[in-house]
Amino acid sequence: MLPSVLNPTTAEKDAKDVVDMEIEYANITLPSDLRRDVTKWYNKMTTGELGDKFPGVEWKKLITGTMKIIGMSINDSEPVVAVSPSFLQKIGNVISKYPSRVIVNYVIGRMLLKGNVPLYLPEIFTSIKLRYQQVLSGTTQASPRWQKCSTNVKHAFPEAVGRLFVEEKFRTGAKENVLELVYNLKKTFKGMVDELTWMEDSTKQLAKEKADFMEVMIGYPELIFNDSALHTKYENVTVYIDDPLRTIMSVGEAAVIRGLQKLRKDVDKTDWFFSAAEVNAYNMFLTNQIVFPAAILQPPHYSYEQPAYLNYGGIGYVIGHEITHGFDDQGRKFNKYGGMINWWSDNDSAMYKDRAKCIIEQYSNFTVPGTGGMMLNGKLTLGENIADNGGVKETFKSPYCSYQAYREWLKTNRHGKEEQKLPGLNYTPNQLLFLNAAQVWCGETRNEEKIKRLYTDPHSPLMFRVNGPLQNSEEFSIAWNCPAGSYMNPSSKCTVW
């Protein structure tokens, strides 16, 4: 007879217990759209109060044991933030129903199936995860091994990989060129604020100050070329040449230590949350920063050599999107310094919510193809949809992007010489702006993955990141001569900014 640890019956029961417990966790978790209000995240209390308000878990013991890793002591007066009180009130009851064996199996299982970790385990782990992904996301085959390995290295050592990418791919002059784009789009946003008829002058002034104060980080952090600083950052990491799994575990442990060591210290505003080799961008509400890694400054988003109209339609849309995130339904709750301080009058706040409601209703009426008639969740995706709409409006109302001003730009910057048209395409510069804005969202998503994202993803499906904002754009309808009342030029349009 097999030992109990390897007995199939025991293993099956262990697995069922873990799944049952995770289902209970899910059932006490607020739906994604109800977790979006950042003002409900900040529930400051002491560790002593944490234990009193949320019984069933030895919070002080847990926190104290964790902080011992870095030699930091904790007492009952230590301030903490309870992000989700409704979850914390119930988690103790769930945990108490299961023996420690189930909890340990849950933790280890989550760790071993996380990301690309199964790549370094026996084949059965990769096979199990693939079967799981087939059901959840429709995946039919695993990604190539080289791709998983390179992703693991990028996540483990983002600065080192970012340095290699920057040295080979990031062109000198790109940073200054993109900074000019950001300046123009900030200027456009402030012009849009001035044109608002529903906002009081005092609130307008604060909005423009926040836009001016927004720090822009482009390309890469200086840290990646500082060998001494990199050695210090990874001093707790051990690389095992013949054991990549141990290396990943070491990287994870070191990351936890670095995170804990940041507590009780001022926020380091030079920190980047993505590698320079990551195709992405983000807005940090808490520091009022917008960040554009080097890797996103590539075609179709951007190229130093391509016509300006393509850059404004590509990376310009992304820049406008990130600027507007500072003023979406959550970003607007932070001031220019990143403090969660209300700078809105009651009337302006009510008017904002009314316009946001229009966006919610518009997107909630989109039916997502391939999902059996499921509708988009306009509440869950509200922040991203406001940012998409603001990004489009800023980009195409920019004084450097409207058709007539674009002609002036040519006179000033190119002495009247036309930019080259794209070969074989008889489109105007304005039309090409919109085409490239749509091009950056081209992609295919499996139906199973679409369904999963409708429940969890704060971004709208790709096609609606194009159709939604452009339906609300007067400039798009003019550029493409869309008939009034048609699908892409509806009579009722939504606008926040």
**What is the tens place of the pLDDT at every residue in 134-191?**
998 998 888 888 998 899 999 999 999 999 999 999 987 888 888 988 988 898 899 8
Phi then psi dihedrals of residue 213, to 5 deg: -80, -15
The pLDDT, as a whole number, for residue 308 is: 83
Provide the Cα torsion 114, 118, 121, 123; round to 10°: 150
- The per-residue pLDDT for 84 is 92
Q: Distance (Å, rounded) from C-alpha 189 to C-alpha 229?
A: 37
Of 53 and 118, which is predicted with more confidence? 53
In a domain, 90, yes or no: no
CA distances from 493 to 65, 112, 355, 482 (A): 55, 48, 10, 14
- If one counts every other C-beta atom within 10 angstroms of the C-beta of residue 334, the result is 22
As a whole number, the mean pLDDT across the chain is 90
Confidence of residue 410 (pLDDT cuts 50, 70, 90): low
Looking at residue 402, its pLDDT comes to 46
d(CA 243, CA 245): 6
pLDDT at 405: 46
Q: Is residue 204 part of a domain?
A: yes
154, part of any domain: no
- Write down the pLDDT at residue 426: 87
Residues known to be catalytic: 322, 388
Token match 């992703």: residue?
Answer: 151
What's 495's DSSP letter?
Answer: -
Residue pair 472/346 in contact by the 8 Å Cβ criterion: no
User: How many structural domains are present in the chain?
Assistant: 1
Task: Report the side by side order of strands in the sheet with 215-219.
Answer: 215-219, 289-293, 282-284
CA distance 402 to 411: 14
133 falls within a domain: no
Determine the Cα–Cα distance for residues 73 and 93; give it in Å rounded to an integer. Answer: 28
- The H or E element containing residue 174 is helix 174-195
| pTM over the 0.85 mark | yes
- Sequence-ordered list of residues with C-beta below 8 angstroms from that of 142, at least 6 positions apart, any chain: 126, 130, 148
Domain of 326, in residue numbers: 178-221+274-479
**CATH no. for residue 443?**
3.40.390.10
Render pLDDT for 348-404 as a digit per residue (tens, 0 to 9): 999 999 999 999 999 999 999 999 999 999 999 999 999 999 988 877 776 544 434
How do residues 441-484 score in pLDDT, each as one tens digit? 999 999 999 999 999 999 999 999 999 999 999 989 999 999 99
Residue 109 phi/psi, 5-degree rounding, is -65, -45
Q: Report pLDDT for 403.
A: 39
pLDDT digits (tens, 9 = 90+) for 233-260: 999 999 999 999 999 999 999 999 999 9
Place of tokens 């679409």: 450
Q: What percent of the chain has pLDDT over 90?
A: 68
Q: Is residue 188 part of a domain?
A: yes
Q: What are phi and psi of 132, to 5 degrees?
A: -65, -45
Q: Is-contact 450 461, C-beta < 8 A?
A: yes
- Stronger pLDDT, 331 or 405, i.e. the higher one: 331
What pLDDT shows up at residue 399? 57
4 in a structural domain: no
Does residue 438 sit within a domain? yes
> Judging by DSSP bridges, how do beta strands 215-219 and 289-293 pair with one another?
parallel
The position carrying tokens 């997107």 is 363
Distance CA 315, CA 342 (A): 31
Q: Is residue 103 part of a domain?
A: no
| pLDDT attached to residue 424 | 87
Residue 363: the pLDDT is: 98
pLDDT at 404: 42
